[in-house]
Chains A and B, each alone.
Chain A
Amino acid sequence: MSVLGQAVRTYLAAQTGYSTYLPGGISPDQTGQGNTSQPYAVYQSMSRQRQRLTSGVVAATTERVQVTVVGETRSSAQASANWIASKITSTPSRQTVGSLFIHHWRIEDEVSANEVYQDGSDESARIISVEIVGTYTE
């Protein structure tokens, strides 16, 4: 379970344009059952690193989350990924999202997979993965 990913979802769901760019929603690990709307996004935790005091108290946690956007066309998937990136970078600094205090978050790698099977055929989905790195205190 990704703590940062959950915060990203809470944050994005409250942003203007959410229903336009992610009509299929954003879900943990896999899309919601019965979802037929695209683009949609799923997120999963890639790594989580805690910084501790000698007391064992966690002072801050850095987590890397991969958000995968799936769209019917390359342009729609790219537009949704760009929208996610613009929303994250628009408020990069200290903020409270849900119960999480975020010190900062940022967009790092972005990877496209438009031709999954590499056979030249038209495919039903275009995929763009965006990595979000954030440091937070729970």
Chain B
Amino acid sequence: MAYVLPSGTTATLTDVGGASSITLNVTSITGATRSQAMAEITGLGDSVLKRIPARIDPGTVSFECYLDDTATATNHLTVIKARQTNKTQTVLNLDLPGSTIDDLLDYTGYIMEVTDPQIALGDDVLRFTVTMQVSA
């Protein structure tokens, strides 16, 4: 049965140690591209290139949050930047409601990029993008 994203999905960002956890104001999540590097083992006498699978790169995952008007010190943007500064290993958990695949899209890694919101006059909520390097 196909899974259609229903209302009620939550995304939390937790320290690997479990010390602190925040529920993100996520507007979208772009999943990681998991790629397999290929090693070339072609011999001098071979006429065709030969490659075998080498290491796997778990890739990066990025998510977009809206900027909430909470105090600067406790704002999610501040909290996420602090995790980047402190090189905190972090787990991004997606809880897909009513599903049996809750653990399928969990990512463990480090905050790699944090993009401040683009400031432009308009009706849209202000959003910032976070990119996480998946490390395991």
| Chain A residues engaging chain B, CB cutoff 8 angstroms | 49, 51-56, 59-60, 62, 133, 135
Task: Determine if B28 and A54 form an interchain contact, defined as CB atoms under 8 angstroms apart.
Answer: yes
In the complex, chain A residues whose CB is within 8 Å of the CB of B29 = 54
- Return chain A residues, CB-CB under 8 Å to B25: 53, 59
Interface-facing stretch out of B6-14, B33-41, B49-57, B108-116: B6-14
B residues with a Cβ closer than 8 A to A are 5-11, 25-29, 66, 123-125
B11 touches A54 (CB 8 A): yes
Closest CB pairs A-B (n = 3): A56-B7, A62-B123, A135-B123
Selected contact of B26 from candidates A55, A60, A133, A135, CB within 8 Å? A55
Residues of A within 8 A of B8 (CB): 55-56
| Residue pair A55, B125 in contact (C-beta under 8 Å) | no
B125 touches A60 (CB 8 A): yes
Kindly list chain B residues whose C-beta atoms are within 8 Å of the C-beta of A49: 123
Q: Contacts A59-B25, A59-B66; is A51 near B10 (CB within 8 Å)?
A: no
- Whether A55 pairs with B9 at a CB distance below 8 angstroms is yes
CB pairs A–B below 8 angstroms (27 shown): A49-B123, A51-B27, A51-B124, A51-B125, A52-B27, A53-B25, A53-B26, A53-B27, A53-B66, A54-B5, A54-B9, A54-B27, A54-B28, A54-B29, A55-B7, A55-B8, A55-B9, A55-B10, A55-B26, A56-B7, A56-B8, A56-B9, A59-B27, A59-B125, A60-B123, A133-B123, A135-B123
Query: Which chain B residues lie closer than 8 Å to A56 at the CB level?
Result: 6-9
A59 partner residues in chain B, CB cutoff 8 A: 25, 27, 66, 125
Q: Name the residue of chain A whose CB is nearest to the CB of B11.
A: A54
Q: How far is the CA of A72 from the CA of B9 in the complex (A)?
A: 55
In the complex, residue of chain B having the shortest beta-carbon distance to the beta carbon of A104:
B123
In this complex, what residue of B is CB-closest to A133? B123
Which B residue sits closest to A62, measured CB to CB? B123
Min C-beta distance of A75 to chain B, whole Å = 33
A54/B26 in contact, CB under 8 A: yes
